[in-house]
Amino acid sequence: MSAHDNSHDLEVRDSNVVDRFEDPGHPDHQPRKGDTDPKANKKAERQVLFLFAVSVLGTIGFVVAYFALPPGDTAESMRTSNLALGGALAFALLGIGTGAIHWAKALMNDHEKSEERHLQRSDDETRAAAVEVLAEGTADSGISRRGALKGAVVSALALFPITIALPLIGNIGEDWNVGKLKHTIWKKGVRLSRDPNGRPIKASDVTIGSVFHVIPDNLEEHHETGDYMDQKAKAVVLLVRLDPRDLKADQSPAGETWSYDGIVAYSKICTHVGCPVALYEQQTHHLLCPCHQSTFDIADGARVVFGPAKRPLPQLPITVDDEGYLVAQSDFTQPVGPSFWERETK
C-alpha cells in the first residue's frame, strides 16, 4: 500500500502510545496435581494405559461383531449389525484419541514457550535481489525486444485449449436441441393411464373428489428408446374430478372444452422450479407443491394463489374416446415445468 496509509497507521498507534499500560509479562506456571504429587502422576499414567486398552478391546469387539453379527435379511438384524460394528469402532477410535490427549494434558511438560515472530515481508535487500534476478532472466529471454514472439506465444497458448473444449462442448449437451423442452409425448388420442401400473382410466371410474396420478399410455414405448425418464419427467399429469358446479374456470379457449364433465387434467410439474405438485386439498381444491409451497387453485384454471410460482400449471385438454376412456385432445399448448428464457418464443 502507499505511504499515505502508513501515516494513518502511525497516527492510530501514536495517540495511544504515550499513556498505556505495560504488558505484565507471562503469568506464572500453575503446577498440575501430577507435577507435585507422584501418586497423582502415576494415576494419570494408569488412566492413559486404560484408555489405550479400551481401544484395543474395541478393535477386538469389531472383529467379533463382523463375524458374529451379519446384517441378515431383516431390518432388525441390519440395525444390530450396524450398532455393534459402529459402537466397537467408536471405542477403538475414542480410546486412542482420549488416551493421547490425556497423556499430553496430564503427563507431558506443560510449560508454555514463546517464539519470536518476524514480519512476513522480505527485507529490502532480498527484494532488490529478487527484482535483480527477474530482470536478468527477462534480459536473457530477450522477450522485451522480441514483441512478435510475445504475441505468438500468447496466441498459441490462448488457442490450443479449443482442441479440448470444442469436442467437449459439442457433445456434452447431447444434441443441444432445447426445443424439446416445449413438447411432451401427449398427442391426440393418447389415453390417460394410471401411474405407475399403466392401466387406462375410464371417465366413469373417476368419482367426484378423487385424484389420479397419470402418465400417457404411450410412455411404455420409451423404455426401448432410452428416454423413458426424460419423457415421464415432462408428461406426468394430475387428474381431478370436481363437482361441475365448483369448476369456476379452466384454461380452455373460447369455443373449446378441455375438461370432461368436471374432470380436469393439469401438468404435475411445478411452474416454479419443477417439483411434482402432489398435495391436493379436496375442500379448497388447492394443489400444493411440497417443495416451495406454491399453491394452485384447480377449480380456477390452476391459478397461483400463493408462493413463488408465477404461472398456472398448464392444462392438458382431454375428452373421452368411443370406449369411454379418457384421452388427450392434443399435447399441452404451452411448455410444462419451470420457466426458461425462450419459453414463449415460437
Partner 1 sequence: MTTTSTPTPTARAAAATADYLDQRTGIGVAVKTFARKIFPDHWSFLLGEIALYSFVTLLISGVFLTMFFVPSMAETTYHGPWASLNGVEMSQAFSSTLRLSFEVRGGLLMRQVHHWAALIFMASIVTHMMRVFFTGAFRKPRELNWVVGFTLMILGLLAGFSGYSLPDDVLSGNGLRITDGVVKAIPIIGSYMSYFIFGGEFPGNDLIPRLFTVHILLVPALILALIGLHLLFVVLHKHTQYPGSGRSDKNVVGFPLFPIYVAKAGGYFFVVFGVIALMAATMTINPVWNYGPYDPSPVSAGAQPDWYMLFLEGSLRLMPGQAEVMLGQYTLSLNVIIPAMIVPGVLFTLLAAYPFIEAFATGDNREHHVLDRPRNRPFRTAFGVSLLVAFFILVLAGSNDLIATHFHLSINDITWVFRFLLFLGPWAAFVITKRICLGLQRKDRELVLHGHETGRIVRFASGEYIEVHKPLDAHERWLRVQHDAVRPVEIEPAEDSRGVRRKGYRTDRLRQRISQVFYEDRVEPVTPSELEAAHHAHGGHDEIGSHDHGHEPAQVGGGQHLVEPDGETGPDARNH
* Using rule CB under 8 A, residue 128 touches partner 1: no
Nearer to partner 1, 98 or 319 (CB): 98
Nearer to partner 1, 246 or 344 (CB): 344
Per-residue CA distances from 299 to 160, 237, 303 (Å): 59, 16, 9
Residues numbered 102-121 forming contacts with partner 1, rule: CB under 8 A = 103-105, 108-110, 112-117, 119-120
The single residue among 35, 209, 276, 319 that binds partner 1, judged by CB under 8 A, is: 276
Determine the Cα–Cα distance for residues 214 and 318; give it in Å rounded to an integer.
Answer: 12
- Nearest distance in Å: CB 152, partner 1: 32
Nearer to partner 1, 105 or 146 (CB): 105
What is the distance of C-alpha 13 from the center of its chain? 48
Residues numbered 293-312 forming contacts with partner 1, rule: CB under 8 A = 293-294, 304, 306-311
Residue whose C-alpha is closest to residue 212's, from 273, 258, 263, 257: 263
> How many residues bind partner 1, per CB under 8 A?
111
Determine the Cα–Cα distance for residues 272 and 312; give it in Å rounded to an integer.
Answer: 10
Torsion sign across C-alpha atoms 182, 188, 190, 192: positive
Nearer to partner 1, 169 or 249 (CB): 169
- Nearest distance in Å: CB 6, partner 1: 6
Nearer to partner 1, 23 or 256 (CB): 23
Residues numbered 193-212 forming contacts with partner 1, rule: CB under 8 A = 195-196
CB atoms inside a 10 Å sphere around CB 285: 21
* Using rule CB under 8 A, residue 345 touches partner 1: yes
- Here the cell at position 228 is 423413458
- Looking up cell 406426468 gives 236
- Nearest distance in Å: CB 258, partner 1: 22
Nearer to partner 1, 46 or 117 (CB): 117
* Using rule CB under 8 A, residue 254 touches partner 1: no
Q: What secondary structure does DSSP assign to 126-149, as a single string? A: HHHHHHHHHHHHHHHHTTTT-HHH
* Using rule CB under 8 A, residue 72 touches partner 1: yes
Phi, psi values for residue 226, rounded to 5°: 85, 0
Asked whether the beta carbons of 175 and 230 are under 8 A apart, the reply is no
The single residue among 229, 245, 322, 323 that binds partner 1, judged by CB under 8 A, is: 229
Q: What secondary structure does DSSP assign to 17-38, as a single string? A: HSS-PPP--PPPP---HHHH-H
Residues numbered 10-69 forming contacts with partner 1, rule: CB under 8 A = 11-13, 15-16, 19-21, 23-27, 66
* Using rule CB under 8 A, residue 187 touches partner 1: no
The single residue among 278, 300, 320, 325 that binds partner 1, judged by CB under 8 A, is: 278
